[in-house]
Structure 1
Amino acid sequence: MSADTPQAYDDLLEAYRRVSNLESAVGVLSWDQQVTMPDGGAPARSRQLSTLSGLRHELLTDDEVADALDAAAEADLNDEQQAVVREIRREHERAAAVPRELIEQISAKSSEALEVWESAKAESDFSQFAPILEELVELRREYAAEIDPDRDPYAVLFEEYEPYLGLETAEEVLEQLREELVPLIDAVGDSDVTLPDPFADGTYSEQAQEELSREILTDLGYDWERGRLDTSSHPFTSGNQFDCRVTTRFLEDDPLSALTATIHEFGHAFYSLGLPQEEYGTPLGSSRNLSVHESQSRLWENHVGRSRPFWELIEEDVRGAFDGLEDVDGEAFYRAANRVYDDNLIRVDADELTYHMHIVVRFEIERDLVNGDLDVEDVPEVWNDKYEQYLGVRPENDAEGALQDIHWSHGNFGYFPTYTLGSVMAAQLYAAAEDDLGDLDEAIHEGEFEDLQTWLRENVHRHGARYTTDELVELATGESYTADYFLDYVTEKYSELYEL
């Protein structure tokens, strides 16, 4: 304890670090379940995760934390310490409103649902998943009602992932993008320009894709001493500033899918690995929230990984990794990586424009599910109808429709809007970085990412959860959170690509 740090504050941190350590342990077990656990391990893992989640809830809501929060509120704290107390109090008060039994039920049911979802997706049969999804929806409704029975339950759940921008902001951004992107997507569809697809007729081994993914992660600066790459049914990142692991998936007919997914997950990992090590286990050593997390993954995936200079940088590596691409240059790869697929059914493979229509579909469906305006059994039909409405294409089966995402099997309702909020934030952050550093194209072309990485470390990562989302954006960019930069970015980029 520092001589000038109030005892009450140190007591609070000591108690909260135990909570954080349990959360990290849950994360490792969850990673293992999705990556290395044998198929038969699910029943035991469900109980393990349920017990740990219950213990974490018990520690977080313990009188020791409540007393330490009250004492810290009376202490003379600096701005950083006050932010820590704010974040712990918010988490404590939400947790204290929910019975431990309900937390354990949600954890156990989510662990069980993961296995059911994977089987249902493999067999393209939503009816297998529907009963347990209905249970998860009901459990999450109960959870929201325990926190605040008088509010929109979906708004309460949304705040699990983005506590400060608010559901109203998410709705406004999604509506703005729906209004402004649809005409742009239509214009692209009407364009006479056809972008190249050099990967269309080939097959690409998992080994070759993995070797290239590892090479690109190394080039981007992934710290292999604190991370690893594995495969999973749905790409994800898990960990903290000491141990942050990424996964991807490989499709033999579409190596772009693995490349973009791997770079996306690198963005998540780079953020987590950049959090202050000395603040591990406290809000100052934790990511701000999922909107900010998604801003980092989408920045690296799109503003770097889909840029012309990046594909010029890696073109030799790509040609060397795969047969049949000897005559393809960086410009063709760049254009291929940015083809607009308005007939694409899969969110994780979507281009930058249509991606957000995928989010709108999920947002509208899960909001109606949670609010009781949609029955689980009707999800596939409504899903397919909305895809036809927003993208002009209809899924032929459940695997490419309502079963394609893993999130609902985790009980994560309210998560999907953060993908769009993060994409919007990424464009604003990248524009601010270029204002400070100058045009980054040349640096990317030379494989020099240090200046951008340092800028992100200084303006985003080092702050942890000290600032609210809107405060962090304004501090980093000098402006309030806005979708204008994203819309300007995609309009300029795709107008040039498709000669609009």
Structure 2
Amino acid sequence: MAQASGSSATYEQFLDHVKQLHYVGDAGGVLQWDQQVMMPEGGTPARAKQSSALSTLHHELLTDDDLADWLDELEEADLDPEQEAVVREVRRDHERATRVPADLVERISEATSNALPVWEEAKAEDDFSKYEETLEEMVQLRREYAEAIDPDRDPYEVLFEEYEPYLGIDTAEQVLTRLREELVPLIDDIADSDVTMADPFEGTYDDDSQRAVVEAALDTLGYDWDHGRLDTAPHPFSTGTQFDARVTTRFEPEDPMGAIGSTVHEFGHATYTLGLPQEEYGTPLGDSRDLSVHESQSRFWENHVGRTRPFWDLFADTANDHLGTDATPREFYEAANEVYDDNLIRVEADELTYHMHIVLRFEIERDLIRGDLDVAEVPQVWNDKMEEYLGVRPETDAEGCLQDIHWTNGSLGYFPTYSLGSVLAAQLNHHLRADIGNVDEQVRSGEFGEIHDWLTENVHSHGARYETDDLVREATGESFTADYFLDYADAKYRDLYDC
């Protein structure tokens, strides 16, 4: 990266500091991965203190006076576009962090670590009352956090910008409203259809068989085992860096398709992470472009590859071998795309009703943060909204408001990025197919190199150089739009269900 002579020394000092900041944050990520995957149950008290110490150190580095001075000096310097992007991203994080007291950062980190076993116990025992006080604390802490950053703005908007800083809460609300208005009639038509999707699965499937089939799926798609690993977790996730991007999944005895789908989803996240420029590790140019773009990568692989007929033409024999099934590619394809209007669980939801799950969570967490909903009311409101939006009512807290880990992690404001990512995935898929031309045949032949290369060139390689909509324009030549997703969903599912 070229250096402007007058600011070279300052920029180098600034960049060294930024790298240390990133390394501390990544170390905290490894501790979080370990707590969810491998740490013994009794380790929580120490882990809470360790995570808190790293969070405090990260906050101190981000709010350091020297960093503030360098940012001010570099604001007037003659920088190249990549340097300007680094300064822009660090300045944004610095300005938000300087408004948050260090003791609040420490309290949030410790509360998050302590919340995990509480949520796990409440979910296992199907008892929201055991989690209520913990969630109340988390909501209050996040309100304090938002108020510290900007007391004059909607606190939920401030929190949303933690995960998607550039598209804006208005865009998120418009997209979610449009999805609700345009997908519900399609879902209703599917429910009225006489067409029944195939179900190739009978009985139960042990963890070893499911692990074998998802490992085979990762092999098929090109997961880099030298820079990753597969584990199980109560709530599947991916985390890491461009040198070490790990995936997790979970196994339900009667639903191997769920394990395949969630693993391919997390593979998409990991592939994005591994595609980030290695030489820029520790800087924003080596970071992902926030969660909407990250989710677009997981949704691309899950929906626009893993749920396609060409993929099942390729993978059906492998799935049959590992699971002992005898299904045709068409039967697997139908099973992967069945629309369940009575499904209660977000991570098991189909491609269409999934977005009603997101709308529900978005509305609840927004009202919690704004003070329009009490924590004690969450189970009732959750169940009412499930019945209104999906026509099904949870009978237990475990299959209702306790199913997701996000609020336990303090991630209030996160949920809209799932739908934004799905929308962007369809837009990227349209332009990728237009550029490559024979994607279905490549998938059917197990040749994923050109797909990886297109995504790396147009999305991954840029890191966080561009703001979200600018990155979308770089990749597709146009601004972010929900048109492609809605057109794709309508065409695909009306064909499947003949409606």
What range describes the TM-score normalised by the shorter chain of this pair? over 0.9
Query: What SS does the corresponding residue of 1:373 show, helix, strand or coil?
Result: coil
After superposition, the C-alpha distances for 1:87-121 in whole angstroms (9 at most, x for unaligned) are: 00000000000000000000000110011001111
CA distance in 1 between counterparts of 2:85 and 2:164 reads 16
CA distance in 1 between counterparts of 2:322 and 2:203 reads 13
TM-score normalised to structure 1 length: 0.98
Asked if the contact 1:239–1:272 (Cα under 8 Å) also holds between the matched residues in 2, the reply is: yes
Correspondence for 1:463: 462
Q: Does 1:322 align with 2:323?
A: yes
Residue pairs, 1:63-212, within 5 angstroms:
63-199=65-201, 201-212=202-213
Amino acid paired to 2:274: L
Q: CA RMSD in A?
A: 0.9
Query: What SS does the corresponding residue of 1:65 show, helix, strand or coil?
Result: helix
Asked if the contact 1:8–1:75 (Cα under 8 Å) also holds between the matched residues in 2, the reply is: no
CA distance in 2 between counterparts of 1:267 and 1:193 reads 31
Amino acid paired to 2:292: S
Correspondence for 2:331: 332
CA distance in 1 between counterparts of 2:441 and 2:11 reads 47
CA distance in 2 between counterparts of 1:3 and 1:165 reads 31
Residue pairs, 1:203-352, within 5 angstroms:
203-323=204-324, 325-326=325-326, 328-352=327-351
Amino acid paired to 1:103: V
After superposition, the C-alpha distances for 1:215-254 in whole angstroms (9 at most, x for unaligned) are: 1101111110110000000000010101111000001110
Query: What SS does the corresponding residue of 1:245 show, helix, strand or coil?
Result: strand
Q: CA deviation at 1:495?
A: 0.6
Amino acid paired to 2:323: F
CA distance in 1 between counterparts of 2:2 and 2:401 reads 53
Q: CA deviation at 1:76?
A: 0.9
Correspondence for 1:447: 446
Q: CA deviation at 1:64?
A: 1.2
Correspondence for 1:353: 352
After superposition, the C-alpha distances for 1:323-371 in whole angstroms (9 at most, x for unaligned) are: 2x22x10011101110000100000011110000000000000000000
After superposition, the C-alpha distances for 1:61-82 in whole angstroms (9 at most, x for unaligned) are: 0011101111111211011110
Asked if the contact 2:387–2:393 (Cα under 8 Å) also holds between the matched residues in 1, the reply is: yes
Query: What SS does the corresponding residue of 1:313 show, helix, strand or coil?
Result: helix
Asked if the contact 2:312–2:332 (Cα under 8 Å) also holds between the matched residues in 1, the reply is: yes
CA distance in 1 between counterparts of 2:140 and 2:467 reads 30
Asked if the contact 1:26–1:52 (Cα under 8 Å) also holds between the matched residues in 2, the reply is: yes
CA distance in 2 between counterparts of 1:377 and 1:236 reads 28
Q: CA deviation at 1:3?
A: 6.2
Asked if the contact 2:210–2:251 (Cα under 8 Å) also holds between the matched residues in 1, the reply is: yes
Correspondence for 1:365: 364
Q: CA deviation at 1:439?
A: 3.5
Paired positions, count = 497
Q: Does 1:40 align with 2:64?
A: no
Query: What SS does the corresponding residue of 2:139 show, helix, strand or coil?
Result: helix
Amino acid paired to 2:401: A
Correspondence for 1:382: 381
Correspondence for 1:428: 427
Percent identity among equivalent residues?
63
Asked if the contact 1:185–1:353 (Cα under 8 Å) also holds between the matched residues in 2, the reply is: yes
Amino acid paired to 1:321: H
User: 4+ residue stretches of structure 1 with deviation over 6 A?
Assistant: none
Query: What SS does the corresponding residue of 1:133 show, helix, strand or coil?
Result: helix
CA distance in 1 between counterparts of 2:219 and 2:67 reads 42
Q: CA deviation at 1:4?
A: 4.7
Query: What SS does the corresponding residue of 2:231 show, helix, strand or coil?
Result: strand
Amino acid paired to 1:89: R
Stretches of structure 1 lacking an aligned partner (at least 5 in a row): none
CA distance in 2 between counterparts of 1:230 and 1:258 reads 12
Amino acid paired to 1:363: F
Amino acid paired to 2:42: G
